Amino acid sequence: MNTRNLVYTALMTAIICVLGLVPGIPLPIMPVPIVLQNIGIFLAGMILGKKYGTLSVIVFLLLAAAGLPVLSGGRGGIGVFAGPSAGFLFLYPVVAFGIGFVRDQYFNKINFVVLFVTTLVIGVLFLDIVGTIIMGFIIHIPVSKAFLLSFTFMPGDIIKAIIASLIGVTLLNHSRFKSLIQ
Amino acid sequence: MKNKLIIGRYLPNNSVIHHLDPRAKVLFVFMFIILIFFAHSFATFGWIILLILVFMFLAKIKFWFLIKGLTPIFIFTLFTFAMHIFFTHGGTRLVDYGIIKIDSAGILEGIFISLRLITIVMVATIMTLSTSPIDLTDAFEKLLTPLKWFKIPVHQLSMIMSIALRFIPTLMDELDKIILAQKSRGSELSSGGLMTRIKAFIPLMIPLFISAFQRAEELAIAMEVRGYDANVKRTSYRKLQWRMADTMCLISFIPIAVVLFVLKYIGV
C-alpha cells in the first residue's frame, strides 16, 4: 500500500459516510425514500477495485462501530452490529469485494451492462436475500418469511444499482478521473 | 445538512467509565453483548437491566440519553414484537379469530427479543456516550493488531480512519455547494418522474468524485513531502494507558456471567 492508495481509501470511506447523511430522497410510486448509502458501497467496489474498495467499506464499518452516526438514519455505535440490520452491515465488504473483483477483470473494457449486471446480482439479489435471512435469525423469524420480506427492499435497491452503474461507468470512462485512479 | 455536524455523540464528563482505557471498554461491551444473547427469561433480563442501570450511574449518564439512543430501532422493535405475536405459537391460545391467532408463547417471545434489542443498544450507547471517537479508533487499531499475521494492513487502518474523519465535513461542504450550483442551473432532485430523478444524481456525483479525488491526490503528495511512508512503522503522539481499573473492569465480567448462567439454569 502506498500513500496515494491510503488516502483514496480514506476518501472513499468519507464519501460513503457523507452519502449516508444525505436525507432520503422521495420517489414517486415508492413508499419509502431512497437513501444513498448503498450507492456508496457499490461505488467503492467500482472505483477502487476489490482490495481498496473492500478496505474502505471495512473502515466505514469501524467508524460506525466507534459511535459516529454515519449509518443511514443517523445510527451508529457497536449495538447496531448486534441488531436486526447487522447482516446487511457485515455483507457490505463482501458486496464491495465482489463488485470490485468484476471491475478489476473488465477494467479496460468497462461499460454500463457489465457494471449493472454485477451490481444487480451481488449488490441487490445477494445482499437483500442473505441480509434479510440473517435479519430473520436475529429477530427469530422463520427463513421463509424473511425471504419474502427481502422483496420489499429490492425495488429501491434496483434503482440504486442503476444510479451507481451510471455514475461508475461515467467515472471509469472519464479520462481525467481514470488517470487519477490508475 | 450542515446541521449534522460529525461530532459523534460523545458526552465529555468526569466519571469512572470515562477514564477507563477504551480497549477495556470495547472488550467488555463486546463480551457483554454476547452474554445478552444467552438471556431468555425475566430473571436473566432483570439481571442485565440492573447491570445497565449500574453502568449508567457510573458513567453519570441521564436515563433520557439511553432512551433517545433507542429511537433508531423503535420501528424494528415494534416490527419484531408484532411478528412474534402473530406467527410464534405455543402455550395458551389467547385469541382465535379467523386468521388471527395469538398465543402466550408468542407474546413472551416478542417481549424477550425486544428486550434483547433494547439492552444491546443501551449498553452500546453507554460506551458511545463515554468514549470519544478518536479513542475508539485507537482502541480498534490496537485490538486488531493480531490480524496483521493475516496480511491485513492494521497499522494503516488508524491513519485511514483519521483521514476519513477529517474528510467528512469537507465533503459535506462540497456536496452542499454542488447541490446549490446545480439547483441554480435548473436541476431538481425532488420533482419529476422516476428516470428524471435518477438522471439528476449524475450532475451531483460526478463533480463530487472528481474534485474529491483531486483533493486526495494533493493530500497524498503533501503527506509524502512531509516524510510519511505508509509502509513504515510510526510513533504515536497519542498513547493509551492501561491501568489497574481497566483490569478490574474486565475481571468483573466473570461474576456477571456466572450470575446470569446460574439464573438461567435454575430455571427462574
* Residue B226 contacts residue B7 (beta carbons within 8 Å): no
* Residue B139 contacts residue B23 (beta carbons within 8 Å): yes
Q: How far is B268 from chain A (nearest CA, A)?
A: 22
Residue A1's pLDDT is what? 64
Residue B7's pLDDT is what? 46
In chain A, positions 10-49, which contact chain B (CB-CB < 8 Å)? 10-11, 13-15, 17-18, 21-23, 25-29, 43, 47
Query: Of B4, B120, B167, which has the smallest distance from its Cβ to A21's Cβ?
Result: B4
Cα A179–chain centre separation: 24
Distance CA B72, CA A75 (A): 6
Percent of chain B residues past pLDDT 90, beyond the cut: 0
Between B85 and B162, residue with greater pLDDT: B162
Region B95-105: what's the mean pLDDT?
A: 67
Q: How far is A150 from chain B (nearest CA, A)?
A: 15
Cβ–Cβ below 8 Å for A15 and B84: no
Q: How far is B92 from chain A (nearest CA, A)?
A: 20
Query: Of A6, A43, A83, which has the smallest distance from its Cβ to B160's Cβ?
Result: A6
In chain A, positions 53-92, which contact chain B (CB-CB < 8 Å)? 55-56, 59-60, 62-63, 65-70, 73-80, 82-85
Amino acid at B119: T
Residue B267's pLDDT is what? 67
Distance CA B69, CA B237 (A): 32
Please, what is the Cα angle at A40 between A38 and A41, to 5 degrees?
65
Q: Which residues of A122-143 are buried (b: 16+ CB within 10 A; e: fewer)?
A: bbbeebbbbbbbbbbebbbbee
Q: Which chain A residue lies closest to B88 (C-alpha atoms)?
A: A141
Handedness of CA B65, B69, B70, B72 (dihedral sign): positive
In chain A, positions 97-126, which contact chain B (CB-CB < 8 Å)? none
Residue A57's φ and ψ, nearest 5 degrees, are: -70, -40
Q: Is the pLDDT of residue B107 over 90?
A: no
Q: Which residue has the cell 457510573?
A: B58
Q: How far is B259 from chain A (nearest CA, A)?
A: 22
Under-50 pLDDT residues of chain A: none
Distance CA B140, CA B19 (A): 17
Q: Which chain A residue lies closest to B36 (C-alpha atoms)?
A: A82
What grid cell was written down for A65?
462501530
Query: For the ranges A20-29, A149-158, B187-196, B243-252, which has the lowest average pLDDT?
Result: A20-29
Cβ–Cβ below 8 Å for B124 and A14: no
Ramachandran region, residue A29 (left: φ > 0; alpha: ψ -120 to 50; beta: rest)? left
Residue B3's pLDDT is what? 40
Q: Which chain A residue lies closest to B78 (C-alpha atoms)?
A: A139
Between B243 and B249, residue with greater pLDDT: B249
User: What average pLDDT does chain B have?
Assistant: 76
Collapsing DSSP states into helix, strand and coil, what is residue B34? helix
Q: How confident is the model at residue B251 (pLDDT cuts 50, 70, 90)?
A: confident
Provide, as residue numbers in chain B, all residues whose Cβ is less than 8 Å from the Cβ of A15.
Answer: 171, 208-209, 212
Q: Which chain A residue lies closest to B223 (C-alpha atoms)?
A: A3
Could you tell me where the DSSP H helices lie in A66-181? 86-105, 112-118, 127-138, 143-150, 154-172, 175-181
Distance CA B218, CA B238 (A): 26
Closest CA to A161 of A48, A57, A58, A38: A38
* Residue B182 contacts residue B205 (beta carbons within 8 Å): no
Residues β-bridged to residue A71: A75
Residue A97's pLDDT is what? 92
Query: Of A5, A25, A70, which has the smallest distance from its Cβ to B189's Cβ?
Result: A25
Q: How confident is the model at residue B233 (pLDDT cuts 50, 70, 90)?
A: low
Distance CA A96, CA A115 (A): 12
Query: Of B167, B194, B205, which has the smallest distance from its Cβ to A10's Cβ?
Result: B167
